[in-house]
């Protein structure tokens, strides 16, 4: 029984981890299903080990059936959910896109907040950066706008529109600049957005190009300078 429990646990880990963080967006609760399955199998294992010598053949068969049914239901739920999400996604399956970026304010290049601890990323599972000035979009996208610049800023705790730029910085402060705010030289600044050297007026609505490498992936330049 212990071998069966361990095998089920190992087989389900990759599938579950691939969908951690997607529950709210998709309605599929992969992680919850995984946890409930593991807990159920763990509890029945403890009972079976404790009462093993006192259990009849019928009871032992019942425990085995419980193992098989639980593992089948959890695995089936995760597998079916994965197939459905891939089938209905805007991208036809998982992606891994990148876009490099820089943010300049009043002539100074900003240094964004960095990851801490064992998790080498800032943001969410599907959109984040790795202290590398690169937007990472990973996973199955149900909607194209999940790869937008707005989603990236939202994931790291910022905001980017044609009127406002909010950025969490390396010193753990969060700064906001709005059109008309003054630079140190006393001149009013304006937010501008450039994609591969050309000004773009989509701002946060812009969806990064679907490429894993840069180039041909986008280079984004966000500036707040004197108008």
Output the pLDDT for position 139.
Answer: 84
Output the pLDDT for position 140.
Answer: 81
Cα separation, 154 vs 160, whole angstroms: 8
DSSP string, 152-183: HHHHHT-EE-SSEEEEEBTTS-EEEEETTPBP
Output the pLDDT for position 145.
Answer: 87
Residues 11-27, buried b or exposed e (16+ Cβ, 10 A)? ebeebbebbeebeeebe
Which residue ranges of the chain lie beneath pLDDT 50?
Answer: 1-24
Output the pLDDT for position 90.
Answer: 55
pTM over 0.85: no
Output the pLDDT for position 84.
Answer: 59
Cα separation, 14 vs 90, whole angstroms: 23
Closest by CA position to 8, among listed 37, 36, 28: 37
Output the pLDDT for position 89.
Answer: 52
Cα separation, 42 vs 183, whole angstroms: 61
Each domain of the chain, given as residue ranges in start order, spans 2-88, 94-226
Do residues 223 and 192 make contact, with C-beta atoms less than 8 angstroms apart? Answer: yes
């Amino acid at each position: 029984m212990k071998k069966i429990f361990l095998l089920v646990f190992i087989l389900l880990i990759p599938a579950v981890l691939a969908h951690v963080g997607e529950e709210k967006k998709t309605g599929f609760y992969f992680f919850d299903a995984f946890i409930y399955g593991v807990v159920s199998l763990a509890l029945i294992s403890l009972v079976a080990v404790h009462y093993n010598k006192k259990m009849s053949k019928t009871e032992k068969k019942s425990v085995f059936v419980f193992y098989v049914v639980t593992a089948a239901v959890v695995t089936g739920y995760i597998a079916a959910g994965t197939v459905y999400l891939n089938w209905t996604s805007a991208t036809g399956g998982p992606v891994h896109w990148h876009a490099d970026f820089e943010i300049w304010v009043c002539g100074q290049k900003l240094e964004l907040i960095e990851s801490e601890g064992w998790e080498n990323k800032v943001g969410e599972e599907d959109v984040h950066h790795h202290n590398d000035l690169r937007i990472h979009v990973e996973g199955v996208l149900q909607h194209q706008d999940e790869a937008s610049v707005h989603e990236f800023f939202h994931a790291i705790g910022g905001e980017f529109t044609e009127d406002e730029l909010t950025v969490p910085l390396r010193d753990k402060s969060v700064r906001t600049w709005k059109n008309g705010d003054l630079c140190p030289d006393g001149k009013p600044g304006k937010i501008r957005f450039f994609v591969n050297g050309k000004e773009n007026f989509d701002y946060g609505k812009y969806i990064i190009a679907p490429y894993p490498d840069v180039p041909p992936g986008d280079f984004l330049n966000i500036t707040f300078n004197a108008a």
